[in-house]
Chains A and B, each alone.
Chain A
């Protein structure tokens, strides 16, 4: 994408979130440069009067003008700065807010596509690690400021000699070129140091990793790790040493060039004092005014160039962000048909699916049918495709081939939100949010009273957990981020996730490995309560613990992305299939009971 487009996107967003920011910025730059020019003009008049006719009134007036201009400029700059500072924060946060909003609104299938993921990662990285938005806001301010100052100074200097103006502008270009070369070197250096830094960071992180400390001591690993840390550290040190020596050389040369320009300016303006070869000769006041103006001009032009170069860099950082925000996501076209009130059957008809960018199919030609009120256990090895099946059923992905239907109707023909309202799922990697416990249960639903929730809490064993929490239902989760937050154990969280799913009271209940964080006793309790909790709903129970199959009506055996078998536990045990093998593997130790 062209940088101009990124810049335009950025400016549009600033304007969108805070038009006041833009207006104040303009005001601030204009007053700044106006005061700069005015006070040097007043100094010129003061000098001329002081070393000329020395009239009291004029001297006093000039002195007052200088002092007052400075004070007023100071006041206005602070005043504008005050609001700019506040609005800057707002704009920065709001731009990130739009990113979050977009991610949550885009179709889920994008979320696991590598290109979408990469772009988002890059976008977030630039904003988080390079603080690119704030830096770009600063860059825009700097550019604008310099442009306005240069315009003002150009007017002043055109009184001295318009040609000389052009000459110094050219010299400033030399500075910028010099800077550009250095920046390229700096970039190359940074690029070189990043992998080194990453590796160093990994081993340094190992040294500090709490989870690794046991192993470090029991296996006496401190020297092994320290050796790696020191090795990469050495590389970084040498890199920095080289880089700084180079930077020293660059800064030295830059100051050389700058001094050359400075002394040329003094030479020229000084020459104009005692000679009229280049125009009418000037006085002390003009000497001071013009020499200062030229100095400021060179500085301003150089600074403008540097700011522009840096801005270009920042726009490059921001490009993934802008690109992500402007990215046209692939809409998964869904229909708008009404979802049937009762789900009488769910059917997979030769369904195949592979994740975006993947070669192999996660689900290949899977067919089965589930009827209302059935409890189905889904078993299979890790990576067999159980969780993918769940995601397909939740309509998070669209099958590549085949049809998933309820009551004989393709689920993709139905209205998305309505359809999802029919499903409650506890995903294997379920997420809870840093809201209150109650909000986590009711989600987008209306506020529920304590009494309404009581039976549910009882059922899911949450009552005693809540009794312990300060604030009970209103206790906020997420201790890491919120001072008043509380921490739940893995088992407690799982119970809360189950409560959330039950509260939704949907037709189809899916539980993906719901007992993985529970100890054997709690797991057994969950199994026992399972029947009551499901209240005659259609239930899918995913697990790699075979025991769950025993209280389900039928067992769906998934292997290598397809349905290997679908039958009752008893029947499956009669066959020489993979189910029997899996079951035996777990059962063998209990078998030889005396």
Chain B
């Protein structure tokens, strides 16, 4: 198990090195020169007091020039090395940030091309969440691992030099220092383990605290908090979460302290050996200068070892995130489909044959045994209570989801093997939630920067937005949403809905899908939108979902869904004569209006 872990660390490491090499080769050259400058600078720093002491202890007044020369040379050497190493390490950081951001881009682009079925799969998003952690932060994941490896290389080189230096003088000191570091590592490993064992608790406490912070600060809750006098209850829960969070942190701190006693003992031993050995050497004739030098060499060695081991464990830890990133990037989330869809001339015929769907890894069918034929140019309304599976049916119809059983046929040909992008091209869809994006108005319609402005203009005329557009200071180029540009305009619900219709018109797909497109609008805006529907559906095959039965009754056919089954099918008048479920629902909705009619 452990061995296996190591192999993946190694694999992830080589993979990352490969990616860095591909994206920016100069980082490797910088790493090499940095290593040289860093080690040189550190050595000069250690040698300085020794050389100065050597010089001054056996010197006469007249040698002052020599002394100054020596100090000057040492200064120049150290300063140069340190300048270079600082400069190089910063350059490296800029380049690593670039590499990391490019990795993030790669991931985002891949995400948008994954098959849609993953988009509604919570476990996919968990995988994605873990994968995106690696290229997201400057102090985590990819950037962290590359930077730390960079520094690790240089420090490891220096450490080897120092071990040789001290070891030649006295091997026991090296051993003692290693023991102390091993002791500290053992301790921090234990503490880390304990911390990990409580990490889930901490995570959940932090989330709880977040909730109370958000809730108490959030103005949206203000009305209810006041009207129902909830302040004290919230504060009571808030405070008790703080106390228990503090308790967990305290327990970890206590463990840290207790384990720390072990490293105190190893430190005591290592200090004893170091001072003891050096004192003995001095008694045997080591010079004062050397004594001082070795003392500081041991200090530097000890801190280097600590730093090196810290970096290694950091790299291993963050390497896990990098591994998740590569795992995501290497998985194929886009099933290869060979057949290019034939874009039909004019309105196509759609046939649903024994169509059934359930989410992967679930048993419950959302709908099943659906048989339905929509003739070319026909419009059909899907109605029924919430949760009947209407929206899911649309997703299967458009190919966003693949059917679990049965098939969807367009002009008699099953769509399942078709390449998604070419299948999607057939549909023009308007959904309830209009996704207005922070782009100029005309791009919001064309959804393509190379689109035709003229066509957009014609279509806006068609949907009745021309007047509204001419009222905007920048007309067609008016940025929408105040997110990117400060003068970004927020459209009203009705206008946004018209933009969505314009989008569908611009796309000109031969099948039109309307999924509750007016649910969020007030009655006047709703009525206005209805007027534009015929423009959308003219000469197209169309599918319309709505709760407002008044608006769906003009469709050629109506299909009533309940509990994942097609219950009733026919024209409005046919279904009304049937006196079934559709009839009941229609009466329910229209009864107030009907009563009213009688009154009049």
Contact = CB atoms under 8 A, between A and B. Distances in A.
A468 B97 CA distance: 50
Given A93-B209, A207-B111, A544 B523 contact: yes
Contacts, number: 395
A67 B275 contact: yes
Report whether over half of chain A's contact residues are helix, strand or loop; otherwise say mixed.
helix
A506 B314 CA distance: 60
Nearest to A107: B226
Report whether over half of chain B's contact residues are helix, strand or loop; otherwise say mixed.
helix
Nearest to A215: B435
Contact of B233 (A66, A243, A444): A444
Contacts of A233: 101-102, 104-105
Interface stretch (A143-151, A253-261, A452-460): A253-261
Interface in A220-262: 220-222, 224-227, 229-230, 233, 236-237, 240-245, 247-249, 251-256, 259-260, 262
A271 B116 CA distance: 77
Contact of A108 (B49, B52, B223, B424): B223
A420 B599 contact: no
B262 to A, nearest CB: 11
A198 B439 CA distance: 15
B393 to A, nearest CB: 14
B363 interface: no
B232 A444 contact: yes
Interface string A555-594: 0000000000000011001000000001101111111011
With a 10 A CB-CB cut-off, give which of B112, B120, B483, B594 has the most chain A CB atoms: B112
A203 B443 CA distance: 15
Contacts of A207: 108-109, 111-112
A273 B56 contact: yes
B336 interface: no
A57 interface: no
A214 B108 contact: no
Contacts of B128: 208
A340 interface: no
Interface string B208-251: 11111101110111111111111111110111001001100110
A248 B264 contact: no
A344 interface: no
A254 B109 CA distance: 42
B271 A74 contact: no
B221 A50 contact: no
Nearest to A63: B275
B364 interface: no
B385 A224 contact: no
Interface string A202-219: 111011101111111111
With a 10 A CB-CB cut-off, give which of B253, B386, B553, B592 has the most chain A CB atoms: B592
With a 10 A CB-CB cut-off, give which of B102, B104, B433, B484 has the most chain A CB atoms: B484
Interface string A496-533: 00001000100000000000000111101000000000
B111 A251 contact: no
Given A85-B253, A224-B448, A259-B82, A229 B599 contact: no
A431 B61 contact: no
Given A219-B447, A396-B226, A433-B230, A124 B592 contact: no
A82 B86 contact: no
Interface in A250-290: 251-256, 259-260, 262-263, 266-267, 270-271, 273-275, 284, 287-288
Interface in B257-296: 257, 260-261, 264, 267-268, 271-272, 275-276, 279, 282-283, 288, 291-292, 295
Contact of A270 (B71, B113, B275, B449): B71
Contact of B550 (A240, A425, A589): A589
A16 B596 CA distance: 67
Contacts of B84: 252
Given A207-B108, A222-B109, A226-B108, A217 B282 contact: no
Nearest to B61: A275
Interface residues of A, number: 150
B119 interface: yes
B245 A247 contact: no
Interface in B148-178: none
B90 A245 contact: yes
B371 to A, nearest CB: 25
B87 A226 contact: no
Contacts of A108: 222-223, 226
B220 A431 contact: yes
A222 B86 contact: no
Contacts of A111: 219, 222
A86 B268 CA distance: 27
A97 B239 contact: yes
Interface stretch (A299-307, A347-355, A476-484): A476-484
A435 B592 contact: no
B585 to A, nearest CB: 7
A105 interface: yes
Interface stretch (B73-81, B350-358, B406-414, B465-473): B73-81
B19 interface: no
With a 10 A CB-CB cut-off, give which of B102, B217, B249, B261 has the most chain A CB atoms: B217
B109 A218 contact: no
A273 B57 contact: yes
A94 interface: yes
A51 interface: yes
A267 to B, nearest CB: 5
Contact of A266 (B48, B232, B246): B48
Contacts of A288: 49, 292
B449 A224 contact: yes
A79 interface: yes
A326 interface: no
Interface in A347-383: 381-382
B229 A243 contact: no
Contact of A544 (B208, B249, B522): B522
A92 B334 CA distance: 46
B283 A50 contact: yes
A85 B400 CA distance: 51
Contact of B420 (A202, A217, A382, A588): A217
Given A204-B104, A251-B90, A435-B233, A291 B49 contact: yes
Nearest to A481: B211
Interface in B36-57: 48-49, 52-53, 55-57
A582 B524 contact: yes
A140 interface: no
Contacts of B320: none
Contact of B68 (A208, A242, A252, A267): A267
Nearest to A510: B227
Contacts of A256: 79, 82-83
A488 interface: no
B79 A444 contact: no
A63 B268 CA distance: 11
B503 A219 contact: yes
B429 A218 contact: yes
B53 A270 contact: yes
Contact of B385 (A100, A273, A519): A519
B91 interface: yes
Contacts of B599: 570, 573
Contacts of B254: 82
A587 B550 CA distance: 8
Given A93-B245, A204-B108, A382 B522 contact: yes
Q: Which 8 A-B pairs have the closest CB atoms?
A: A100-B216, A589-B550, A248-B90, A244-B94, A590-B590, A251-B86, A519-B386, A481-B211
24 contacts: A47-B291, A50-B279, A50-B291, A51-B291, A63-B276, A75-B264, A82-B256, A90-B246, A99-B217, A198-B483, A207-B109, A207-B111, A216-B112, A218-B427, A222-B112, A233-B102, A237-B98, A262-B75, A267-B67, A284-B57, A427-B224, A443-B230, A521-B588, A524-B588
Given A382-B522, A569-B596, 9 more contacts: A78-B256, A85-B256, A224-B447, A237-B98, A248-B88, A284-B292, A521-B585, A573-B599, A594-B573
